[in-house]
Structure 1
Amino acid sequence: MDELGARAAAFVARHPRQARLRRVGTSRAGTPLLLLSVGHGARNALVVGGPHANEPVGGATVLRLAERAAADPRLTEGADATWNLLLCADPDGLRRNEGWLSGPYTLGRYARNFFRPGFLEQPEWLPDGPDRVTLPETRTLLDLQEELRPFLHCSLHGVDVGGGFVELTHDLPGIAQRIAQTAARLGIPRELGAYDTLYWPDLGPAVYRIPTPRRGDLTAAITEAAVDSTWCHPRRYGTVTAVVEAPMWGVAAVADGRPPADRDGVLRAVSGALRHDTRRLHRVLARVRPHFAGVPGAAHLLAPVDDYLLVCPRLADAWDPDTEDGSGRSLPPMSTAHLVALRLAGRRLALRTAGLLHQLVTRAGADPAGVLPELDRLVDEGCADYRDGCSAHWIPIARQVEYQTRVVLAAFELAGRRPTAGSRSGDPGWNPGAAVPLHRD
């Protein structure tokens, strides 16, 4: 995060007439939340880097977007636009990933140093609605949306293993073709059956419609984003939100849209593997939890562990063709890509849980319960399945960033064709007036 701030300040020094950097909030640990703005147009684009702590690509992407906006007047004066780039929405969580961020980029190193806070500590979610927000990072996001009334809001996410896709609050005709072209040029697989969007409407290949938030229990909130969020909140301003997912390790099979040869057989295997790993992890947690009382930071690591172990059994039941999960909802039609995505997701949940528990044990400085060998086996098995079973391959950071940048620029162009209320930010004496949302879905 310090490096991002320094690079943003250096950018402003090179472009003093076009760019400015300001502090718009403070994290729970006291880290400044910095907004880099480029241009002086009346129409605002808001781009959020680092909303998930383990997805650092967005920080590099916002800096790349700043360079593009400064170099191409069509993106600022020509579009009457200002680019507002939040460097990182969760800088405290990002710091907890420093064990793998500098490389080497291997699945094992990533898994053993992975961190993402528990669901209720992630800044984009509004489980109790916008009026009962307690996280300062979330309040900053909402305040920015209120101030800017953006015509486009992009949230920059990363997929650890899989492919690229986009989630939209409004349709942007033509974006699926832009994504396909960009993905082909950069060698990024498109995720045609993303686990996150399993029950969401398709707007085109690798493009999904974010549904209207609905009430649900914590499991539904975690697995289906069935909760209000900063993605949906700015609908009232006519804002188009685009959640842009870029993969770190690519898996070509997530782009296989063909019908599967044995749908039910794969689902049984995936759900069975998830149940098996969940039982192993529950046994490990039961043995080690009593030893974590005095370990610094243990609560932050245990919160996501408890979240993952809460959702795993429910997901296994939902995916198992021989089990009724009690929801009354059946699985949608599934391609090979969907089944691959579920396999990756099941492994992801188990691998993240094992990695977090591994950190807890190693930070304690001892292994009184003797669980470290079992956790190493879980991590190694999951990484081997990704690498050997799914042919996961590392995508160089430069390509991740370029992919995400091009998708954001495509969304900017297409969303800019929609009528929206004008606004101006970052100019002396600017004061936001009442906005009239022109689109309500």
Structure 2
Amino acid sequence: MFDRISRLAAEVPPIAGFAGADALRTAIEEIARDHPEHTELRRIGSSRLGEPLWCLTVHGGPEHVVVVAAVHPNEPVGGLTSVHLAKLLTEDDALRADLGCTWHIVPCVDPDGTRLNEPWFAPPLTFDSYGRAFYRPAPDEQVEWTFPFAYKGNFFDKVMPETVALMRLLDETKPMLLCALHNGEYGGVFYYLSDTTDELNRQLAALPESLGLPLHTGEGEAGFIEQIAPGVFRGFTAEEECDFMLELGLDPSRRTGGASSGAYAARYGTAYLATEVPYWADARADDHTPLDISYAALLAERGKRTEETAKLLSGVLESVRPDLTVRSPFLRATEAFVPYLADAAESELARARLPENDRPAVVAEQFASTSGLQSARIRFGGMLLRALAAEIGIGNGTPAIRGGFARLDEIYRGWLAEAEMPQPIPLAKLVGVQLGAILSTTVALSG
């Protein structure tokens, strides 16, 4: 079966660009219209701005699989994957029968946030076009991380309408598997799994390799995340994040989000898969050549530079705050992520003092350190520029706001000049990896 899945992953046709919220809705409406005998298109909820949220169900067996895209709206590869998966399941009767599952596919669970990213969806994809039109919601406005949560005095119940819609879908279907479609920026492919086997780990590692893409085998996105195989990480929980912060002497109450979709679905025995694919590949993500620098020194340097970035963005924000009039999504996100950067810096500096990190670093860890800082600057600097541009756009171009924008824009241009600009990965390959991961995990769980 895996040979068949690999072939399907390699046969994804060329894709010109990302699809916006309207294009995704049109695509699944066409699939439902063309295949009424085994599909059902239904509204499962509404966005915060009142836009309908749609789910395409493809009937095929007693087990249920839920596939959700745009859980982070700055990650549009999943929308393309969800549409391709829906077409494949409706057009390939043999595959649908062999999988023996009923599929519930949500191609865009956050259309409001997706629309705010659509300016950079058209090619060519560069750091400049991407960063200046980037939007990632504040943690308490992300579908993926706004499920109810209570742990050690930390409490979250500001559940968004989009999250409620996904909760209802999970409650109704009690799926065997929940697939959240994510993507990063540059480096290699990696996965989060709640349940896995050695054979599935090998298959997931083989998928990107078969398409000429590297695995991300360096450190996880946080120090507490367990790597269980090359490129495969254990799905983590909000509870684990809080415990990690406490161990490092950080205040977990500064964590503003809730629990994850995977944690919510776990009550039904649901397995969880998140497939993370980059826009730009870099072989250093899978290079374990030792370096003449300790891992502790690498952490300390990253902590120092991240702290400097947080202070710089905070300084610009505070210099204009008295003149701000618009509580835009960009401002709300900036206000959330600048403290997050400060906490990340403190975490790295604390980890640098741990004895176990006094060992030689490897290239993959150095790449993760450099690319992580670069990502933070491009993302969060770009969103603060958008927040200030929004004020200027409505006529509130006070001297402080215009000055803050000009100062940050100059710094931002310097960050872009420092950044390495690799070639974008063909979107068909990214869709192929996500498609292959979904099918491989489904087969492993149902077999």
Q: TM-score, normalised by structure 1?
A: 0.85
Deviations 1:57-109 (A, max 9, x none): 11110011112212333442223211110111111000111221123311111
Deviation at 1:197, TM superposition (A): 4.5
Within 2, Cα distance between the matches of 1:4 and 1:12?
13
Residue 301 of structure 1 is aligned with which of 317, 330, 348? 330
Selected match of 1:281 from 285, 302, 313: 313
Instruction: Note closer, same or farther for the CA distance 1:322–1:105 as it changes in structure 2 (3 Å cut).
Output: closer
* Correspondences of 1:199-214 after superposition (within 5 Å): 199-214=224-239
**Unpaired runs of at least 5, structure 1:** 418-441
Letter in 2 for 1:379: Y
Cα distance change, pair 251–226 in 1 and its aligned pair in 2 (3 A): farther
Query: Which amino acid in structure 2 is aligned with residue 279 of structure 1?
Result: K
Match of 1:110 among 130, 149, 156: 130
Paired letter, 2:235: I
Which residue number in structure 2 is paired with residue 376 of structure 1? 409
Q: Which moved more, 1:26-35 or 1:250-259?
A: 250-259
1:298-377 residue pairs with structure 2 within 5 A? 298-320=327-349, 335-365=362-392, 366=397, 368-369=399-400, 370-377=403-410
**1:232 alignment counterpart:** 263
Shift in alpha-carbon separation, 1:71–1:331, aligned structure 2, 3 A: farther
| Counterpart for residue 10 of structure 2 | none
1:78 partnered with 2:98: yes
Gapped regions of structure 2 (runs ≥ 5): 1-20, 151-155
Q: Map 1:188-199 onto structure 2 (within 5 A).
A: 188-199=213-224
SS for the counterpart of 1:170 is: coil
- TM-superposed CA distance for 1:225, in Å, is 11
Amino acid at match of 1:337: A
Q: Sort the Cα spacing of 1:284 and 1:91 in 2 relative to 1 into closer, same or farther, 3 A.
A: same
Count of aligned positions: 408
Q: Does 1:398 align with 2:428?
A: yes
Residue type of the alignment partner of 1:378: I
1:95-106 equivalent positions in 2, closer than 5 A: 95-106=115-126
- After TM superposition, the structure 1 stretch with the greater mean CA deviation from structure 2, 167-176 or 53-62, is 167-176
> Aligned to 1:146, what secondary structure does the other structure show?
helix
Identity over the aligned pairs, expressed in percent?
28
1:241 aligns with 2:272: yes
Is the 1:257–1:335 Cα contact (8 Å) retained in structure 2? yes
User: Residue 237 of structure 2 contacts residue 260 of structure 2 at CA under 8 Å; is this kept in 1?
Assistant: no
Once the two structures are superposed, residues 373-400 of structure 1 have per-residue CA deviations (whole angstroms, 9 ceiling, x without a partner) of 332233333333431xxx6331122222
More helix by share: 2
RMSD value, Cα? 2.8
C-alpha separation in 1, matches of 2:116 and 2:71: 14
* Structure 2 CA distance for aligned equivalents of residues 102 and 342 of structure 1: 29
1:220 deviates by 7.9
What residue number does 1:430 align with? Answer: none
Once residues 254 and 355 of structure 2 are traced to their aligned partners in structure 1, the CA distance between those partners, rounded to angstroms, is 15
Aligned runs of 1:6-17 on 2, under 5 Å?
A: 6-17=26-37
1:417-438: CA deviation from partner (whole Å, max 9, x where unpaired): 2xxxxxxxxxxxxxxxxxxxxx
CA distance in structure 2 between the partners assigned to 1:224 and 1:172 by the alignment? 32
User: What letter is aligned with 1:414?
Assistant: A
Q: CA deviation at 1:354?
A: 1.0
**Contact 1:155 1:244 (8 Å CA) reproduced:** yes
Matched residue, 2:211 = 186
Listed one character per residue, the Cα deviations across residues 226-254 of structure 1 (whole Å, up to 9, x for unaligned) are: 95221122222221100111111222211
Q: Secondary structure at the match of 1:232?
A: helix
d(CA) in 2 for partners of 1:361, 1:132: 30
Q: Give the superposition deviation at 1:191.
A: 1.0
**SS at the partner of 1:8?**
helix
1:69 correspondence with 2:89: yes
User: Which residue identity lines up with residue 346 of structure 1 in the other structure?
Assistant: L
Measure, in 2, the Cα distance between the counterparts of 1:225 and 1:209.
22
